[in-house]
Amino acid sequence: MDCIAFPVRFDSTGLRKLQDGSSEYYTQLLSVSILTEPFTHPFTPTFGANDPSFTNLDKGLFVLNAAKFVPEVRIIDLLIDDSGAEAGKSKINFSFEIVQT
């Protein structure tokens, strides 16, 4: 099922949507998992990662959650740049491949 792009944007058809199964779709889904604290959603309490603003992102937890909640992708690489950590900023870059199920 297609989803609304985040942050919300508009295009010529109205709300911009991401096509289910596209690379952009999975990038957004995995990014949202990094931005979501565990226990935020009552029906999926283990979805998400600890806020990387205050602790380092747990790479193992991210890869585990990706495998559990987004089985259509396989994480290939995960890099965390903490050079801006004093300002409360970290750059998180990941790459993945879409696997055939």
Task: Indicate the residue type of 21.
Answer: G
Percent of the chain with pLDDT over 70: 88
* Residues 64-88 pLDDT 10s: 888 998 999 999 999 888 776 565 6
* Domain total in the chain: 1
Task: Indicate the residue type of 91.
Answer: K
Pairing of strands 91-98, 73-81: antiparallel
| CB distance 99 to 70 below 8 Å | no
Question: For residue 6, what pLDDT is reported?
Answer: 85
Residue 57 has pLDDT above 60, yes or no: yes
H helices, E strands: number in the chain: 2, 6
- In 38-85, DSSP assigns E strands to 73-81
Mean pLDDT to the nearest integer, 32-60: 80
Residue 78: domain span:
3-98
Contacts (Cβ under 8 Å, ≥6 apart) of 33: 47, 48, 49, 62, 65, 66, 69, 70
